[in-house]
Amino acid sequence: MTIPFDRSRIGILVVEDEPLLLLDAMDMVEDAGFKAYGATSADEAIRLLERHDDIRILFTDVDMPGSMDGLKLAHAVRNRWPPMSIIVASGHVNVSPEELPRDGLFFAKPYPPASLIRTVEAMAQRIAG
């Protein structure tokens, strides 16, 4: 039996440099009841993580401009915020489990929205205890 939890108290940071894909992913997260934050670069993502302690899940694209790509961002977040749940996505490269940070997951684009939301729900359930 699953114990209900307040999804609106769990923030999900979506990092995507394509504005329409960012808005679509944020809508998907919000439609599932979670609080969504959006960033178009790794630098912006780090600033949001520093300001919002309710962000518990990182969902990042690999290909991004700026000081680091999404894979480097995922590793930086794992090192600085170890409890963070991490999902990495790409439509251009296939990321192997060895390339991901510990406990990170990879989704190939285009990903099935229902599958992604089930994964986020499972992560949030573990976070909520």
pLDDT digits over 44-90, tens only? 999 999 999 999 999 999 998 888 999 999 999 999 999 999 999 99
Supply the pLDDT for residue 6. 86
Kindly indicate the confidence band of residue 24, based on its pLDDT and cuts at 50, 70 and 90.
very high
Supply the pLDDT for residue 3. 55
Q: Which residue has the tokens 């998907």?
A: 28
What residue type is assigned to position 6 of the chain? D
User: Nearest to residue 119, comparing CAs of 59, 35, 39?
Assistant: 59
Whole-prediction pTM value? 0.94
